[in-house]
Amino acid sequence: MSTAAGLRHDLLWQKVTIAIPYVWLLVYFLAPFAIILKISLADPVIAQPPFTPFFDSQGDITATSDNYSFLLTDKLYAVTYLKSVFMALVATLLCLALGFPMAYGIARADESTRNLLLLLIVLPFWISFLLRVYAWMGLLNNYGVINNVLMWLNVIDKPIAFMYTDFAIYVGLVYSYLPFMVLPLYATLERMDLDLVEAAQDLGARPSQAFWDVTWPLARPGVIAGCLLVFIPAMGEYVIPYLLGGPESLLIGRVLFDEFFVNRDWPLASAVAIVLLLILVVPIVFLQRSQARDAEGHA
């Protein structure tokens, strides 16, 4: 076989290797967004499928911005978006407050304990998300474990209504997304040169000053990555507000789900999704940038 033919042959398999996943993602990841955008501009009808086609029988475009103007005028949606952002933010900060000292402690543990502690952070990832949320139902119930223990200890004489409150949602969010916070924080803290903290102390910084002058600014990439990894999925969360939150806890993921399955208003659900996506585009791009920078830093 001549070298030229050999090279062409080599290029062919490279092309195939790229093309298969590329086409798959174009069809099953990118195209759906075009469709969602299209349907968000349609009117709902009682039919199968329940929306007007993009082109009518004359071939004219039948786009309408009704869904978006409805989203903007109906106060319920604005409030829901804002509340989702707020709750996701609070959950993110709670994760950070709990996750940072944990990641710090793990990064500074000796090596064999460190691996075990890390494993215990990762392990819940592998156990069903749904069942982990479910576990809290048994704890937070009016007749659940926490109330039983508190009453047995005579701290309270009536059960506290934990379930179906925002508190329960926060517990669920922090519980589910804590590992997403701890892992990137751990990665940056573990890489950090401990000499730097000692150098700061040697130059006259008390331990708390050394933390804020050196450890915290150097951990920033991990803090940013962790916060985004918690905030983004928390924004669209459906299971946690459904199972732990009350019927009033209208978070946007749940509204989208209900709009689609309960009201069967596909165009409006699509519009809700598009607006949610617009809110999340900035943090998502930010996250991808920081991860790309991180990957370069390693190379």
Partner 1 sequence: MAGNGASSTPFIEIRDVSKYFGDFAAVDSVSLTIGKGELFSILGGSGCGKTTLLRMLAGFEVPTKGRILIDGVDITEMPPYERPVNMMFQSYAIFPHMTVEKNVAYGLEKEGIPREEIKRRVGEMLNMVQLGAFAARKPHQLSGGQRQRVALARALVKRPKVLLLDEPLAALDKKLRERTQFELMSIQYKLGITFVVVTHDQEEAMILSSRIAVMDKGRLIQVGTPKEVYEYPNCRFVADFIGNINMFEGTVVDVDGDRVRVNCKDAGGELVALSDSPPLAGSAVCVAVRPEKIFISQNEPENSEDTRLAGVVEDLGYFGNLSLYRIRLEGGRIVQVSAQNRRRSAERFLEWDDKVFISWRPRSAVLLTD
Partner 2 sequence: MKPRSRFILSVLAFGYAFLYLPLASVIVYSFNDSRLATVWGGFSTRWYGELLDNDQVLDSAFLSLRIALTVATLATIFGTMAGMALSRFSRFRGRTLFSGMITSPMVMPEVITGLSLLLLFVSMQQLVGWPAQRGFGTITIAHTTFAMAYVAIIIQSRLSAMDESLEEAAMDLGGRPLRVVFDITLPLIAPAMIAGWLLAFTLSLDDLVISSFVSGPGASTLPMLIFSKVKLGVTPDINALATLIILFVSSGVLIAWWVSRRSQRQSA
Beta bridge mates, 40 = none
Tokens 């040169």, located at residue: 193
- With respect to partner 1, which residue has the nearer C-beta, 107 or 219? 219
d(CA 2, CA 141): 75
Per CB under 8 A, 239 contacts partner 2: yes
Per CB under 8 A, 256 contacts partner 2: yes
Per CB under 8 A, 35 contacts partner 2: yes
Whole-angstrom CA distances from 118 to 111, 133, 221 are: 11, 21, 19
Beta bridge mates, 51 = 44
- With respect to partner 2, which residue has the nearer C-beta, 139 or 224? 139
Per CB under 8 A, 109 contacts partner 1: no
Per CB under 8 A, 119 contacts partner 2: yes
DSSP letter for each residue of 35-73: HHHHHHTSPB-SSSSSB--SB-TTS-B----HHHHHHHH
Crossing angle of helices 75-108 and 252-261, rounded to 10°? 130
Per CB under 8 A, 59 contacts partner 2: no
* Interface mask toward partner 1 for 207-226; x: CB under 8 A: --x---xx--xx--------
Among 85, 89, 137, 224, binds partner 2 (CB under 8 A): 137
Per CB under 8 A, 288 contacts partner 2: yes
Query: Shortest approach of partner 2 to residue 110 CB, angstroms?
Result: 9
DSSP letter for each residue of 75-121: HHHHHHHHHHHHHHHHHHHHHHHHHHHHHHHHHHS-HHHHHHHHHHH
Query: Shortest approach of partner 2 to residue 214 CB, angstroms?
Result: 12
Residues 39-58 that bind partner 2 (CB under 8 A): 39, 49
Contact 40, 267 (CB under 8 A): yes
Contact 88, 95 (CB under 8 A): no
Residues 141-200 that bind partner 2 (CB under 8 A): 141, 143-145, 148, 175, 178, 197-198
Per CB under 8 A, 145 contacts partner 1: no
| Residue ranges that bind partner 1, judged by CB under 8 A | 193, 195-196, 198-206, 209, 213-214, 217-218
